Structure 1
């Protein structure tokens, strides 16, 4: 039996009193034996293998023989061929004595070599998985725009560029969403050279709405670097890894799909498929576990069709071997799936891989000021043409680096309106020389509402206000001076604001303000309406007076 303890060691347990083992469920790590208890167990090996915070590797139903005479087993159902399943009865678990660590871990039957074999695919499995998976992929692959790219006369460089763009976009983003972005991107920048001529502003505008904007910046930086160094697209994993923003996964995808290099790729979909094929109940985020998945993927990759095989493996995880509702009856590699085999004994395929509890999002609070600068001193004379809206650029490092947003201030906690306005006033004065007593007149200041924006690790609650000001004669906003660390800003009209590549959070704030303005106009009567109502009232009163006089005369 293989069990991993909290001290990151794999224990191989055996006992002459325990001829059979009952397969364990990943959700319950109790020991079940036909006879005896844990105190009778002798520890033959303690081998560091895969580290985890609790349980790293769990290989149920595959006991290891520690003697030279192999034990006859039916590994598909995890029971001894000489023992009926009904004869296996669990006993109460007792605390095991602290094991003694053996320094001998090589060269004996049942040593490291045997354990490593359990974490490898044999030649028969490899051949069956390759054949079945590629046959399934050829018949069922989705028709996606980046898969239509052909090897042109440029040696596959345009295909490599398209694969790069698509793979970066697909990180943390659904395929259905990416298709439109990919088509528009390739239409505007059809080659690496065209992209290298773009500005970060243009790239961010095209990327707006996809999130994780650092990906877009890395694409641009990578394109510029490749063009500066000769313009030839790197063709191998080792050379691709030198390009900014290209890591193990992206380099493997480009090299295998575009240049036919027999290298693996491992993403979340691949991890799930491999974990179920080998019934690996391990933390998929653990660095040592990740290396094991890369090793398994490397064993399987087809040397003749590496790109198609890698895409097939990812396609399987995305369409059939899904996290919560796998379609095992349609799976082309279900025969080789150990998780499916174990599920027939009461477990669940979805137990694999180990579900890692996500870190709790921290709460943050922000006061956001939608600042409108009007050339007129009153709202009646103001028009769309005379209105400008203040935008500031975020720092070049950190969350949403280098992107435009409305002026905002982080708050230590949920705050009252007076505190929020005080913090905004401080920010405007320090950053733009905007002082209500000296440089501008407040035309209107109103609360718009609240909005919660969710990042992967942050839950940001934004309090939005709408501030309209008129600059006093001669007053100007401080000019941007990036070299001095000053705030970079610009004023945009409504047309420019609508066309900018704003993040989804900033767009939401803008939409909230526009809706607030429309509601305010509907609820509050205009000056003309007030005058009309007044005239109507006077007319009605005059008519009533005339009628009263006529009655008195009668």
Structure 2
């Protein structure tokens, strides 16, 4: 069998080399059809046989060398991070549960988030909820506000649910992987990190950094997201983990990937395990092979494109309708459903649009929502002081590209705020009205904060430009929903 098919070189590198060989005539004359069939066969074997890509484990000698080198390097080079600091009792083996709680919080925060961003959030979190018992008494709204800006808010909810489950169970913090996996939001990686770092269980961890290090050490060109390949990475990591210092070893492997064996610019010259790195060895003997060819790049899933119309509804108090931003004005906020994207978080009233539509259509959709949900009807209980098109922006989630149109709608209620609130049927949608100070201090998501910032800048600009005539033109328009 052609050795090219089973080598450890990345697919593109192999294909490039094979093509060059064809051009130089090293494989003799072939017809165009033969070449096409050979190329097709090669690509198929490389893509569909991930098991052949990891044909052996580390040798016993390699395991010993990697353990010793990584632990020595980690002792000298580990970053000082708040979740790695131990109190005197913890270093003596005393408060393992407190250590486990800190590791758990940090690992959940670090998912999809940079270390430098997490540090501030972690310190504030631990100051407010220093133990799992403190966290178990918190509300989801408090947790969401503390988490605001970190993104992936489902993680925060799982932390709270997990804390309540552990405390209510009364059996203490789970100290082995099998028990940790029963806690909401704790998967194989997080369970391995907590069990090894806090409780010294000799179990592996595999995250993106670990995959990158292992893929280069073994020159693995199989798809790193393939389920069979992932199992092989776990098997390799389990072979390497040090039985005496599993926590430190796992952290050293992750630290190496984060600081030395980086995606684009690895510092191979300062790598403590460069002598065992197959990718580096291959690159030294073949200029067409790069260390950064491993692991292979996998095409990302295309983002979904959504469109939303967000309306910042400001309700004025008092009787004089000539001024905006009175001290007793209120902003209308809506709480998102408890499941799904940004679950349980507060936002300005908004509607999703099926397609790009003009301003008139957007306003019609918003008006229908406000009338149906809050009984805001300019024909009956309110008058429009001003209505302004503020602008638009694009907010990126991991899987969604959301285009948001923003407008400011300033209303004055007939009969006053209290009369309107008393007549409202809360129904199933949670909502509230807050003043400007409360809104400024709320833990809003980055997207909602962007909307609010745009409106505030628009107001400031309007106070020194020609925004007053614009308000006069729009003040006569009615909230219509047909």
TM-score bucket (shorter structure): 0.7 to 0.9
Distance 1:2 1:389, change over 3 A: farther
CA distance in 2, matches of 1:379, 1:178: 46
Return 5+ residue gaps in structure 2 as ranges. 42-48, 470-482
CA distance in 1, matches of 2:151, 2:395: 12
Give the deviation of 1:526 after TM superposition. Answer: 8.7
Asked which structure has the greater CA Rg, the reply is 1
Distance 1:442 1:116, change over 3 A: closer
Match status 1:144 vs 2:81: yes
> How many aligned residue pairs are there?
444
**Partner residue of 2:12 out of 10, 18, 27:** 27
Give the deviation of 1:149 after TM superposition. Answer: 2.4
Higher mean displacement: 433-442 or 469-478 = 469-478
CA distance in 1, matches of 2:319, 2:446: 32
Match status 1:130 vs 2:73: no
Q: Does the 8 Å CA contact 1:237/1:251 hold for their aligned counterparts?
A: yes
Distance 1:439 1:330, change over 3 A: same
CA distance in 1, matches of 2:196, 2:460: 54
Partner of 2:307: 365
Give the deviation of 1:27 after TM superposition. Answer: 1.4
Q: What is the aligned-residue RMSD (CA, Å)?
A: 2.7
Give the deviation of 1:213 after TM superposition. Answer: 0.6
CA distance in 1, matches of 2:316, 2:133: 42
Partner of 1:313: 253
Partner of 1:274: 214
CA distance in 2, matches of 1:174, 1:25: 28
Partner of 1:286: 226
**Partner residue of 2:343 out of 388, 401, 407:** 401
CA distance in 2, matches of 1:330, 1:139: 13
Distance 1:24 1:224, change over 3 A: closer
Q: Does the 8 Å CA contact 1:448/1:465 hold for their aligned counterparts?
A: yes
Partner of 2:46: none
CA distance in 2, matches of 1:388, 1:32: 67
Write the deviation string for residues 496-526 of structure 1: whole angstroms up to 9, x where unpaired: 1111111000001000000000001111499
- Provide the secondary structure at the position in 1 that maps to 2:453: helix
**Partner residue of 1:480 out of 426, 451, 466:** 426
**Partner residue of 1:184 out of 121, 124, 128:** 124
Return 5+ residue gaps in structure 1 as ranges. 5-10, 13-21, 38-86, 100-111, 528-554
Q: Does the 8 Å CA contact 1:149/1:162 hold for their aligned counterparts?
A: no
Give the deviation of 1:353 after TM superposition. Answer: 0.5
Q: Does the 8 Å CA contact 1:374/1:387 hold for their aligned counterparts?
A: yes
Q: Does the 8 Å CA contact 2:462/2:468 hold for their aligned counterparts?
A: no
Distance 1:372 1:91, change over 3 A: farther
The answer to which structure has the higher helix fraction is: 2
**Partner residue of 1:196 out of 112, 132, 136:** 136
Residue pairs, 1:82-101, within 5 angstroms: 89-91=26-28, 94=35, 95-96=37-38
TM-score, normalised via structure 2 length: 0.86
Write the deviation string for residues 141-182 of structure 1: whole angstroms up to 9, x where unpaired: 000011002453754110000000000000011000111111
- Provide the secondary structure at the position in 2 that maps to 1:363: strand
CA distance in 1, matches of 2:298, 2:214: 17
Larger relative contact order, structure 1 or 2 (CA cutoff 8 Å, min sep 6): 2
TM-score, normalised via structure 1 length: 0.76
Q: Does the 8 Å CA contact 2:10/2:296 hold for their aligned counterparts?
A: no
- Provide the secondary structure at the position in 1 that maps to 2:12: coil
Distance 1:23 1:375, change over 3 A: closer
